[in-house]
Chain A
């Protein structure tokens, strides 16, 4: 059974029964990963009709909602999977803190997890900006102004993330690239490392 051996190797050959009980993890990390995969697939479909320019964004969303068959369905899946993934990731973090699972020997994986949490929040926000309606535009403006207030590195950060001191078309393109390539790509690499690290640090051997 070749296809079975891959599944078998995610878990060790033997593990105590209480370690795989639902209540010891609530499957929150798994839920977040499932939603991540779903977001990648629906996002890939949405990118067919979304063009990262001010006019293209509005026309693309309009077509998706009104004209393209199942466009609204796929967009809704993407939206709700995104909201649920943020909730799943935050609850996962809370559970890790509550169980003290950030302590050695898992302290390094905890840091990886924190980076993944920040990436998730960044993906959620950048996706919101891509809607390019008046509210998400204002939200992006507020964030760019907040960044500008950081002493010393503020204006430099503004230029790096927004392509200028104001939110405008170059900023939209940067958010698009982060949302479609940078964010998901980095997340995927870190998720794979996160999973491998769970096994290596002995998630299944010792009490959480």
Chain B
């Protein structure tokens, strides 16, 4: 009888542990599934989420610098600043900048663009857009990817 009462004291604890473990694993699995499904359903070609990108004071970037932040790549040469909106015109992937060749290469289908967004080879059929640059009231550099500027554009702060 003594043994039995010990067992009945022990077992509920063990059972509770496994029940808690089971529910938490199930919870993890369902959270993961919900995340995957959410990511899958949130794909959109029309709205890449183009908010202005803040780069801080322009003095931070000497001539010949390259910075990528979000969907924007910022460049500077002797003539001034320019910013490329890194959205591949083919299917909306994000081309990555390769500093050796100074080219953008799209990881999805290998479209290539030069550092001013001009098309080097397809499957994309259009160049990448250049984005408008401006200074905010505090003198910080801001890039507006929604506003395109003509090719060859330079911004002098």
Contacts and interface: CB of A to CB of B under 8 A. Distances in A.
Interface of A: 45, 48-49, 63, 66-71, 73-74
Interface residues of B, number: 12
Contacts of B109: 66
A158 B41 CA distance: 37
Contacts of B39: 69-70
Contacts of A63: 43, 91
Contacts of B91: 63, 66-67
Interface of B: 36-37, 39-43, 91-93, 108-109
Contact of B37 (A45, A49, A66, A67): A45
Instruction: List the 7 shortest-distance A-B pairs measured between CB atoms, nearest first.
Output: A69-B39, A68-B43, A70-B40, A70-B36, A67-B91, A66-B108, A70-B39
A45 B41 contact: yes
A172 to B, nearest CB: 23
Contact of A67 (B41, B42, B43): B43
Contacts of B41: 45, 48
Contacts of A71: 40, 43
A74 B40 contact: yes
Contacts of B93: 67
A70 B36 CA distance: 7
A183 B108 CA distance: 35
Nearest to B90: A67
Contacts of A49: 43
A45 B39 CA distance: 11
Contacts of A45: 37, 40-41
A101 B116 CA distance: 73
B108 A69 contact: no
A26 to B, nearest CB: 25
17 contacts: A45-B37, A45-B40, A45-B41, A48-B40, A49-B43, A63-B91, A67-B92, A68-B40, A68-B43, A69-B39, A69-B40, A69-B42, A69-B43, A70-B36, A70-B40, A73-B36, A74-B36
Contacts of A74: 36, 40
Nearest to A44: B37
Contacts of A67: 43, 91-93, 108
A66 B41 CA distance: 15
Nearest to A49: B43
Given A67-B91, A69-B39, A73-B36, 5 more contacts: A48-B41, A63-B91, A69-B40, A69-B42, A69-B43
